[in-house]
Amino acid sequence: MSTTVTNTLRARSDRFEPEAELDPAEQRKLRGHLDQIDYAAYAANRAVLGQALGRVDLHAFERLAVATAHARASWVTAVVRMTEVGASLTAEQVAQLAALRHAFDELTEAYDAMRRLVERGYLHYQPKA
């Protein structure tokens, strides 16, 4: 499995890439073992996350989207206000902006993670009635 780092996200390739030295029968056997390992991780995630979060609905995604939008607005509004009086920012202002951006990044990551949990079947999505 190969891993690619993009910005702050780590993307993994799910393709099986066998060792060149393995004969086809050994490759199939290894693929079977890896499938068992992947299923064990899937089952663990489904059990733990399902118990922790239960079902999620559109309202959960909406609340997270609103919180993320507020965090983005706070970050961008702060930098616009800080630069109204001049281009130079103090170390304290930069630290404040970093904290605001970090909050936005964390909420964005949480949204992406929750979406992946539904996509992978770890969480049951209850559609809006």
Instruction: List pLDDT tens digits, range 34-86.
Output: 999 999 999 999 999 999 998 999 999 999 999 999 999 999 999 999 999 88
pLDDT band at 4 (very low <50, low <70, confident <90, very high): low
Whether the pLDDT of residue 102 is over 70: the answer is: yes
7 bridge partner residues:
none
pTM, whole model, 2 decimals?
0.73
Buried b (16+ CB within 10 A) or exposed e, 75-104: beebbeebeeeeeeeeeeeeebbeebbebb
- Half-sphere exposure at residue 59, Cβ-oriented, CA atoms within 13 angstroms: 4
What pLDDT was estimated at residue 64? Answer: 97
